[in-house]
Chain A
Amino acid sequence: MRVLPPLLRRKPAVAVLMCVPLFALILGLVAYPFFHALFLATLNKAETAFVGLDNFTFLFGRQTFWMVVRQSLLFALVAVVFKALIGLAAAHAINTIPTKGQRKWRGMMLIPWVIPPALSTLGWWWLFEPTYSAINWGLTKFALPAVPWLSDTFWARFSIILVNVWVGAPFFLIMYLAALKSIPGELYEAADMDGAGPWQKFFYITLPMIRNIIAITTLFSIIVTLANFDIVRVLTQGGPLNSTHLFATYAFRVGIESGDIPLGAAVSLFMFPMLAILAFIILRNVRRRAASLA
């Protein structure tokens, strides 16, 4: 029988060794790109000289950049709120179905989330196509006016939010459904005996019991939604009038398409401090609640 070397017989050493692939992934795919982006954001346009925070101060003087900030926040907030509401409602609806029939509904509801967004958004683009929109074709069949889905600033913003909600709501659904299933049934039985109505049960049992999941899901979704790229890229390319640019697409326009990588890096890093603070606050509250429940 082969005997393990002494080093591998020590549990901490084995644990560290087994974590090496994870550390390597985090170093290579998270830490290195992040610090490289920080480094790039401190260079001049030609990437030949260190300019400190000049790229950020330059951005603060750009009208389009502030428009992008406002749009990104609007996009993220509206989309996350609707994703959360729809996810919660759908999770409740599915949770009321007998367990036997739930699987097919869960599967169907997850479809928008599992299709690569670049592909599904292409399908939406055909529905919204500026001249030959399939939806408009249907509307005009009922003598309704065509909607400028992608050519009007309001409707273009509406369209990208709609697609984002369509793609992202199933994530909330599945998270909320798992949370709902973890609530002990006795709590609802006791509430029934006390004569509580559906809304009372929802506000005094369901919501408090899934609050941590709501917080974590919302945090995760805000980060992912703020970083969205593919929907805008496929549907509008940031137009019309730059009115649908988000941080990622604007960074792409400035950095990749226009060849100003340092400025693009500065755009993409702009939200990092705010998101870091938000994540810290939300996760701290989650931790505290978990501790109090324990």
Chain B
Amino acid sequence: MAMTAGRTRRHVLKAVGASAAGALAAPYVKTAGSAGRLRLGVIDHWVPGTNEVLQRILSRWGETNNVEVTVDFITTIGNKLLLTAQAESRAGSGHDIYALEFQMVPMFKHRLVAVDDVVEDVISTHGPIADISRQAAFLDGAWKAGPSPASTASAATVARRDLFLAHAGIDLTEWFPAGDARDPALVDRWDWESFSDAAGALHAAGRPVGAAIAPVTDSSAWLAQLFASYGAAVVDESGDIAADSDAVREVLAYLTRLTEFMPDSVYAWDDASNNRWIISGAGSAIFNPPSAWAVAKRDNPDVARHLWHCDAPRGPIGRFRAFNSVFWGIWDFSENQSAARDLLRYVAEPEVVVATLEASQGYDLPLFRSHYDRTRVWAEAGPPVGGLYNYALRGDERTVTDGYPAPPEIAARISTQRVVPNLVARVTQGGDSFDDAISWAENELEGVLRG
């Protein structure tokens, strides 16, 4: 090829070198398959403003790669995300990429394209993925979905530091400081019994703690961490019914005491009720990601500045936090799977993860441990500054999902049929004996396990 006037070999080599360096540094390598259209169904984020940032990131990727990207933000309230997925999977049409909460991957694995190449690439670049996330999406020897850049969250204890100090004598900022200088003795004292004692004091002061015990996701989440911390399971690792156990009875006995200090309305709460409740100032603690705090910051700053995110209380077996890993899967009917794979690879890049994480004000938890060190949002978000520090897992907490420790397919059905919240409510609200409630759960679990 002839050189044009004014352009030397040195110029060309320099340009090629620069572009090669750029390519190496570029976080994303486009394959020949991108182009065309991509339709995404993703979770309508709980934190205001996050959708817009994600939309911008995706649109920019689309423009760069000549892909027409359309994004639908679908709420999880009323199970709409799951219902839409059911409709699309049965109809064999809809979005190309779809957001899947942890229990949805096993449910729809037969309609999801394996994305081993994408996820293994990401793992090789960014290190291991969280175990709890691997359990949810690595099924039958293949990755059925890749990590979502947004909406993964955990159910931290979100408590009013002023009320806990005034009525329960617990200085949460001392027990769970915004830094690594934790006092192990104080942390160790944060168990379900001390939580119950605090709940009693707060109830007496007219500012009770609250957590849903209703057929909704929030119920399943906090009860999963409580059950796990007592070693209680309704179905064990091998898929056998295990509800009739001393551990389950122990949890039910504990909940009988704890629910005395909760409002009766928890039996009818939906996934937004606990948020509304603590934002209004009526409650003193809930189990939730920082969406309640983020909305309180906007709607009721006086409450927001007292909200402190803490570890889950410890049980006899250990300390567990419910972790809802969110994935993006590619439907097998997608007509643009090549571009979809490219996009999945792109959204796992740290820059994207951190951008959505910061837009969500710390709500989103990365699935890769290595991504945690790329942001200071949990340390700096406020007010109160440091209130979110312990939302990111810092201590001895292990992560669980609803249905733990059952195999993923069974755990998903335990979750969607709300077996555990109903088991608990039968005792704490319905007044059933432990034996009757457990017998009911066993009967219900036969339906969950049927082939």
Contacts and interface: CB of A to CB of B under 8 A. Distances in A.
Contacts of B263: 131
A45 B422 CA distance: 23
A interface majority secondary structure: loop
A258 B450 contact: no
B83 to A, nearest CB: 6
B434 to A, nearest CB: 16
Interface string B264-275: 111111100100
Contact of B215 (A63, A153, A239): A239
Interface stretch (B3-11, B135-143, B194-202, B424-432): B424-432
A130 B269 contact: yes
A196 to B, nearest CB: 51
A131 B273 contact: yes
B417 A258 contact: yes
A220 B182 CA distance: 67
A80 B22 CA distance: 73
Interface stretch (A22-30, A144-152, A285-293): A144-152
B416 A236 contact: no
B416 A257 contact: yes
Given A130-B273, A239-B267, A45 B450 contact: yes
A109 B157 CA distance: 49
Given A240-B429, A241-B430, A258 B273 contact: no
A153 B280 CA distance: 26
Contacts of A58: 447, 450
B429 A258 contact: no
* Residue from B215, B263, B413, B440 whose CB has the most chain A CB atoms within 10 Å: B215
B422 A241 contact: yes
A45 B448 CA distance: 11
Interface string B235-264: 000000000000000000000000000011
9 contacts: A62-B447, A63-B443, A130-B273, A131-B277, A239-B214, A239-B215, A241-B429, A254-B447, A259-B86
Given A63-B444, A236-B268, 11 more contacts: A131-B277, A131-B282, A132-B280, A148-B265, A150-B265, A151-B264, A241-B430, A254-B447, A260-B450, A263-B447, A263-B450
Interface of A: 44-46, 58, 61-64, 130-132, 148-153, 156, 233, 236-242, 253-254, 256-261, 263
